[in-house]
Chains A and B, each alone.
Chain A
């Protein structure tokens, strides 16, 4: 079933690439193959989840030590479901999105690349062989690179593409080394064989962690390897951004989990490194998000934040593994895995919404919006669900997974790693408050109040083809928040697979937490019911005595849209408080005179790692090399002589 799904997707990519000159045919072929491929893949995942066993396919392949081996254990099933659901919904949305956009509808490569990306992600999460894994990983990296640079007429898109290209290949390089080391230690490149033959101290070296952090962490966007994310995600078309931010970065998390599964046990410093990196990513991500005005850039920084929360869960899980406390390990991994799904759902929802907003406004700047809840009621209402869910507020799904990570942190205290737990708890609490500040800022500026521009005044909802996928994602967010049972049982089997425990033991260890999560859903439903009763009481008390009026302006009779609070002003108390971290640059031009007419104020926040460290480092290196190059204007004979001397030295050293 799974091979059928991947084949359908790839065949669809081929046909839609060949028929690119007939956009209608290409569109219907790609849509049909996306729907069929994803549905058959989902069927395969659900079937093997129901069977409980793993479905395996292994075919010989004429590459050295490679086999075309795929298998579906609990972990793979979970990630396969996530990948296919988000790809399917984003792809359907994308079809309508492409049609509404003049530039994109002319682009022949967009549809085939999207299908290839989906197929390669599905393969990565099911691969049972390192060569196949790397092959699919590279296909995923390249197809997403070409998707990033689809709109390559803009210079910032080309810049983003270049940065992404360099980063993703650095990551792949690290993975080549990682799997080479593991393959040498175990003598095989098949995952099952590697796990069986893994020496017990294999994870002890810090090199493996470093390679994993570069390889998987860079793909996932864990700080300080996050710096490509806020460039690449805004540059691509919105449905691609939804897939990239929703699931491509999660494949990095899958890689981490699969590696932990391969190693069977990890030392304590993995836990420390992951928790610290998670806290830095989480707090840093949300702080930088607060300072953004570009909606998609803001959302991209929030991906860094959420990856931070996931990394906290991963670190706590590793802590459990290294301390031989299976309950803590299960709890930490369960929090990380559930948050992976949750973030995939609400982040893709928000990115799809941002696409609709950007198309309506003609810009991604949130300050150009305002009052869209009246003019784009569906997009705005569904984005509200996403905004509440990503802020970790009950009764939505983000709260359930953050709660699991909180519980894992408290369990870590009893495991004797108190300082780590304090970092995790404090970090999560800070992230929660700041995320809410950031999303009320973005949502309030865009959707509430009065329109700030003409474009915002005439904005309209997109058609049902774009609304329906968002509605499905929002419904899933609410469903997991109110009824977390089904999602948690999938999470359970995935976490059990990572820890190498059998399902029954994992079920028993997590039973109490699953039960409490149900109570949380119940309380969430209670809030809705009480709110409904209160609303009914209010309409009874009012009895129709409602007068329309104007907003109170402290006696000022003619308020205009320009007097509304802006996003920058809204975030200012926090950006000021964290100014040393953010380094916000402010430009303020005030014309002099008694009646100053023109003011100009703007703020910019550069990324600390990319613009603060890597770009200066790069230009310094280039400058240094140019300096050396200028010194070297000598004759060819000297070069030949130096080569000869070098060879002689090597020879002498070998002797």
Chain B
């Protein structure tokens, strides 16, 4: 029974929570704009519908194009095994935080190569932007991790994101939280870095890289992106939220994820996306915040 419960909670976190989070973001944005908005489960319906469709592969493409979706989803699933969701992670060791970051890098690598495989100018453009922005986002993420690692005494995600009440905890938590939130927005192509709802290929980043994917491939990509958002959001949630006695670990995580989704929706409703040339500045600010947090912890 206990194992069943654990499997159920993992399945919930990995399969159902990600699309629902995206649904909540859309619903929040609709509410702010005074619309009714699509149902919260719409992303899940979309994924299921895509899984039942066939595929169109460009004649330019090779096996690289088909490798992209499966490896990027596999990398995110492997990263999910390292993240403390509602309970201790499946795999946990000193240094797993670095592996977590680099598994995302693996996913990005294959997504970029799959995009370049189409020979499309638009996808090249998106790939170029993704590569450029992520090389600014990665230091911010790792430096934020480093400050958390220092105060918990090791690069273990489960311990880094456990409740901490040591000296100067508030300052380092706030700074890490700030930089992690910017990285979350950038890595998951949200406003102000990228607009997932844009309809002009020239202005897209992540969406334009997957223009030529369809059917199950697109479903894999979409689910991978949603799962990545949920994983990073659950790290943020674990950083600030205590475990609430009434609803338990799973319940408080779900509540936290929903709250994060609402915050993302509010951010997206309240501002326009930045000009592409300004994005590195935002990310460098995140790097600065993370470094500052690290220095504060070390003091």
Please list the residues of chain A having a beta carbon within 8 angstroms of any beta carbon in chain B. 370-371, 373-374, 384, 388, 391-394, 399, 403, 406-407, 409-410, 413-414, 418, 421-422, 425-426, 428-430, 432-434, 436-437, 440-441, 443-445, 448-450, 512-513, 515-516, 519-520, 522-523, 526-528, 530-531, 534-535, 537-538, 541-542, 545-554, 559, 561, 563-565, 569-574, 576-577
A426 to B56: give the CA distance in the assembly, Å.
42
The answer to whether A444 and B54 touch (CB under 8 A), given A393-B102, A413-B150, A449-B60, is: no
Pick the 6 closest A-B CB pairs, nearest first: A565-B124, A433-B135, A545-B54, A444-B116, A449-B119, A573-B132
Asked if B52 is at the interface of the complex by the 8 Å CB criterion, the answer is yes
Tell me the chain B residues, 102-157 only, with Cβ under 8 Å from chain A. Answer: 102-103, 105-106, 108-109, 112-113, 116-125, 127-129, 131-139, 141-143, 146, 149-150, 153-155
Beta-carbon contact of A407 and B109 below 8 Å: no
What are 26 A-B pairs with beta-carbon distances under 8 A?
A388-B106, A410-B146, A410-B154, A413-B149, A418-B295, A422-B295, A426-B143, A429-B101, A433-B139, A436-B131, A448-B116, A449-B116, A449-B119, A520-B99, A523-B82, A527-B74, A545-B53, A545-B55, A548-B57, A551-B60, A552-B58, A553-B121, A553-B122, A559-B120, A565-B124, A572-B128
Interface centre among B55, B98, B106, B120 (most CB of A within 10 A): B98
Decide: A551 and B128 in contact? CB cutoff 8 A. Answer: no
Bound state CA distance, A539 and B195, in angstroms? 32
Distance in Å: Cβ of B158 to nearest Cβ of chain A: 14
Q: Is B163 an interface residue (CB 8 A)?
A: no
Q: How many whole Å from A61's CB to the nearest CB in chain B?
A: 48
Cβ-based interface call for B172 (8 A): no
Q: Closest approach, in angstroms, between the C-beta of A579 and any C-beta of chain B?
A: 12
Closest chain B residue to A520, Cβ basis: B99
B59 proximal to A (CB < 8 A): yes
Give the CA-CA distance A409 to B95 in the complex, in Å: 11
Q: Are A523 and B119 in contact (CB under 8 A)?
A: no
Contact of B93 with A519 in the complex, beta carbons under 8 Å: yes
The CB with the most chain A CB atoms within 10 A, among B91, B121, B280, is that of B121
Chain B residues with CB under 8 Å of A440's CB are 109, 112-113, 116, 127, 131
Contact at B56–A443, with CB atoms within 8 Å?
no
Q: How far is the CB of B232 from chain A (nearest CB, A)?
A: 16
In the complex, whether B81 has a CB less than 8 A from a CB of chain A is yes
| B291 on the A face (CB < 8 A) | yes
Contact check, A394 vs B99: say whether CB atoms are below 8 A apart: yes
Cβ contacts under 8 Å, A444 to chain B: 112-113, 116-117, 124, 127
| Across-interface contacts of A413 in B (CB, < 8 A) | 146, 149-150, 298
Q: Which residues of the other chain, B, contact A547 by a CB distance below 8 angstroms?
A: 54-57
Query: Smallest distance from the beta carbon of A487 to chain B beta carbons, Å?
Result: 17
> When chains A and B are docked, how far (Å) is the Cα of A561 from the Cα of B53?
30
CB distance from B276 to the nearest CB of A (A): 7
Instruction: Closest B residue to A439 by CB, please name it.
Output: B109
B77 within 8 A of A: yes
The answer, among B128, B149, B215, B298, for a CB contact under 8 Å with A570, is B128
Q: Which residues of B contact A573 (CB under 8 A)?
A: 128-129, 132-133, 276, 280
A426-B143, A548-B58 are known contacts; what are 4 more A-B pairs with Cβ within 8 Å? Answer: A399-B99, A520-B95, A559-B121, A565-B127
Q: How far is the CA of A413 from the CA of B101 in the complex (A)?
A: 20
The smallest beta-carbon distance between A316 and chain B, in angstroms, is 14
Contact indicator B139/A426 (Cβ below 8 Å): yes
Q: What's the dominant secondary structure at chain A's contact region? A: helix
Interface centre among B52, B124, B295 (most CB of A within 10 A): B124
Contact B119 A448 (CB under 8 A): yes
Complex contact A577–B146 (CB within 8 A): no
A530 touches B106 (CB 8 A): no
**Residues B124 and A394 in contact, CB atoms below 8 Å apart:** no
Cβ B142 vs Cβ A441 within 8 A = no
A residues in contact with B78, CB < 8 Å: 523, 526-527, 530
Of A430, A443, A564, which one neighbours B139 at CB under 8 angstroms? A430
B70 on interface, CB distance cutoff 8 Å? yes
B53, closest chain A residue (CB): A545
- Residues of chain B in range 53-75 having any CB-CB distance to chain A below 8 Å: 53-62, 64, 66, 69-71, 73-75
Query: Closest residue to A566 on the B side, CB-wise?
Result: B124
Q: Is the CB of A549 within 8 A of B116?
A: no
Are B74's CB and A546's CB within 8 A? no
Closest-CB distance, B196 to chain A (whole angstroms) = 18
Measured between beta carbons, the chain B residues less than 8 angstroms from A569 are: 124-125, 128
Q: Is B212 an interface residue (CB 8 A)?
A: yes
Question: With A422-B294, A526-B81 known to touch, is A436 a contact of B105 (CB < 8 Å)?
Answer: yes
CB distance from B258 to the nearest CB of A (A): 28
- Chain B: interface size category: 35 or more
A436 near B135 with CB under 8 A, answer yes
Contact of A449 with B118 at beta-carbon distance under 8 Å, contacts A444-B112, A531-B71, A547-B55 already known: yes
**B residues 210-261 with Cβ under 8 Å of A?**
211-212, 215-217, 220
CB distance from B129 to the nearest CB of A (A): 6
Flag if B135 contacts A551 (CB, 8 Å): no
Q: Mark B275-299, 1 if CB is under 8 A from A, else 0.
A: 0110010000001000100110010
Residue of A418, A425, A548, A553 with most chain B CB atoms under a 10 A cut-off = A425
Taking CB atoms, residues of chain B closer than 8 Å to A393 are 102, 105-106, 109
Please report the C-alpha to C-alpha distance between residue A430 and residue B294 in the assembled complex, in whole angstroms: 16
Judge if B40 is at the interface, Cβ distance under 8 Å.
Answer: no
B99 contacts A448, C-beta separation under 8 Å: no
Please give, as numbers and ranges, the residues of chain A lying within 8 Å of B280 by CB-CB distance: 573, 577
> Chain B residues near A561 (CB, 8 Å)?
119
Chain A residue contacts of B153, Cβ below 8 A: 414
Smallest Cβ distance from B52 to chain A, in angstroms?
7
CB distance from B97 to the nearest CB of A (A): 9
Contacts of A426 in B (CB 8 A): 139, 142-143, 287, 291
Cβ of B270 within 8 Å of any chain A Cβ, yes or no, is no
Give B154's nearest chain A residue, CB to CB: A410
* Contact residues in B for A538 (Cβ distance below 8 Å): 66, 69-70, 216-217, 220
Bound together, the chains give a CA A449 to CA B70 distance in angstroms of: 20
Q: Is the CB of B55 within 8 A of A546?
A: yes
Contact B109 A551 (CB under 8 A): no
- The verdict on B201 contacting chain A, using a C-beta distance below 8 Å, is yes
Whether B168 is near chain A, meaning CB under 8 Å from some CB there, is no
Asked whether A433 lies within 8 Å of B134 as measured between CB atoms, the reply is yes
Contact B95 A403 (CB under 8 A): yes
Contacts of A409 in B (CB 8 A): 146
Query: Complex formed: what's the CA distance from A576 to B136 in Å?
Result: 13
Contacts of B121 in A (CB 8 A): 553, 559, 563-565
Distance in Å: Cβ of A27 to nearest Cβ of chain B:
36
Residues of B within 8 A of A403 (CB): 95, 98-99, 102
Give, as a whole number of angstroms, the nearest-CB distance from A313 to chain B: 15
Kindly provide the distance from the CB of A323 to the nearest chain B CB, expressed in whole angstroms.
Answer: 16
Nearest chain A CB to B225 CB, angstrom units:
15
> What residues of B have a CB within 8 angstroms of the CB of A384 in the complex?
64, 113
Give the chain A neighbours of B277 by CB distance below 8 A: 576
Complex partner residue of B102 from A392, A445, A554, A565, CB under 8 angstroms: A392
Contacts of A545 in B (CB 8 A): 53-55, 215
Interface: B174 (CB within 8 A): no
Whether A552 contacts B150 by the Cβ 8 Å rule is: no
How far, in angstroms, from A359 to B277 measured CA to CA in the complex? 39
B70 engages A429 (CB within 8 Å): no
Least CB separation from B115: chain A residue: A444
CA distance A384 to B2 in the complex (A): 44
Measured in the bound complex, the distance between the Cα atoms of B58 and A343 in whole Å is 36
